[in-house]
């Protein structure tokens, strides 16, 4: 009789230690923190609540000039403000918030090198690697891979339904699908 291989037994009563807000330096940690804090309702990440939990961040909705989606700036030592264009749709604002949050997490020490206000997730190929990194970080926290793949299967890949479920634009949804190497989503 063959012995069954020894496998670690998952103990559902043992959970990962709670993450602190200042330890969110990767998308995995951000998503884990959001799960721990109840900021992912089904599949949609509440980026506003995530920003509100950070005492170093504030969020403003302001009418920005045409061509500007959002900005992040240091308003006093160690205090930052994310501004999103109040003239844009809620889904566009959500991605813009996540994009600027990514800059806060990844590029905080070099914010002065970034443009004051920017277009986010635009269709041209003239973005630099810092902007691509912020877009990818934003897409990953708004549409975590496991949730994304599960919802694609559940909806049969219906783009409008998926965008609605995640609370993002169809462009953001297609961007995420493309980055995950998925085809058939208009990418």
**Residue 58 domain flag:** yes
Tokens (6 digits) for 1? 């009789």
Tokens (6 digits) for 78? 């160690």
Three-class SS of residue 44?
strand
Mean pLDDT of successive 10-residue segments in the chain (187 residues)?
A: 39 62 93 95 93 97 91 92 95 96 90 63 58 93 95 94 95 93 67
How many Cβ atoms from other residues are within 10 Å of residue 18's Cβ?
10
**Residue 39 domain flag:** yes
Residues 47, 101 contacting (CB under 8 angstroms): yes
Q: Which residue has the tokens 């980055």?
A: 179
**Residue 11 domain flag:** no
- Give me the pLDDT at residue 52, please: 97
CA distance 28 to 70: 24
**Residue 28 domain flag:** yes
CA distance 26 to 138: 11
How many Cβ atoms from other residues are within 10 Å of residue 127's Cβ?
16
**Residue 175 domain flag:** yes
Q: What share of the chain is helix, strand, coil (3-state, %, to 5)?
A: 45, 15, 40
**Residue 5 domain flag:** no
Half-sphere exposure of 57 (CA within 13 A, CB side): 24
- Give me the pLDDT at residue 116, please: 64
Contacts of 73 (CB under 8 A, 6+ apart): 80, 81, 83, 111, 116
**Residue 143 domain flag:** yes
**Structural domains of the chain, count:** 1
**Residue 1 domain flag:** no
Print the domain residue range for 65. 21-179
- Give me the pLDDT at residue 15, please: 58
Half-sphere exposure of 2 (CA within 13 A, CB side): 3
CA distance 179 to 187: 10
CA distance 145 to 18: 21
């Amino acid at each position: 009789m063959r012995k069954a291989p020894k496998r670690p037994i998952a103990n559902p009563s043992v959970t990962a230690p709670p993450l602190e807000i200042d330890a969110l330096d990767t998308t995995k940690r951000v998503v884990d923190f959001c799960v721990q804090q109840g900021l992912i309702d089904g599949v949609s990440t509440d980026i506003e609540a995530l920003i509100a939990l950070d005492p170093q961040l504030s969020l403003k909705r302001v009418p920005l000039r045409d061509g500007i989606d959002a900005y992040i700036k240091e308003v006093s030592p160690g205090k930052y403000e994310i501004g999103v264009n109040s003239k844009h749709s809620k889904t566009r604002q959500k991605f813009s918030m996540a994009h600027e949050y990514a800059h806060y997490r990844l590029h905080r020490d070099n914010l002065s090198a970034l443009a004051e206000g920017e277009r986010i997730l635009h269709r041209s190929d003239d973005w630099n690697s810092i902007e691509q990194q912020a877009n990818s970080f934003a897409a990953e926290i708004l549409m975590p891979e496991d949730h994304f793949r599960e919802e694609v299967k559940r909806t049969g890949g219906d783009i409008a339904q998926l965008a609605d479920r995640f609370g993002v634009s169809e462009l953001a949804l297609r961007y995420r699908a493309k980055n995950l190497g998925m085809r058939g989503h208009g990418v």
